[in-house]
Copies of this chain bind each other. A is one copy, B any other.
Amino acid sequence: MPQADEVQNDASTRLAVSTVIFALRPDHTGRPVLWTPLVRRTREPQLGLWALPGGWLPPNEELEAAAARTLRLTTDLAPKYLEQLYTFGEVDRSPGGRVVSVVYWALVQSDEAARAAVGPNVRWVPADTLPGLAFDHNRIVDYALWRLRTKVEYAEIAHAFLGETFTLAELREVYEAVLQRPLDPANFRRTLLASGTLRETGERLAGAPHRPPKLYRYDSSARTAEAREPFTRERPAS
| Interface residues in chain A, defined as those with a beta carbon under 8 Å from any beta carbon in chain B | 1-16, 18, 39, 41-43, 51-63, 70, 73, 84, 86-87, 89-91, 94, 98-102, 134-135, 137, 142-143, 146, 230-231
Contact = CB atoms under 8 A, between A and B. Distances in A.
B58 A3 contact: no
Contact of A9 (B15, B41, B89, B142): B15
Contact of A84 (B54, B62, B87): B87
Nearest to A230: B143
A52 B142 CA distance: 32
A114 to B, nearest CB: 23
Contact of A1 (B2, B7, B54, B87): B54
Given A62-B91, A86-B84, A231-B86, A15 B100 contact: yes
B9 A14 contact: yes
Contacts of A8: 14, 56
A1 B136 CA distance: 10
Contacts of A94: 1
Given A1-B134, A18-B1, A62-B90, A9 B56 contact: yes
A137 B1 CA distance: 9
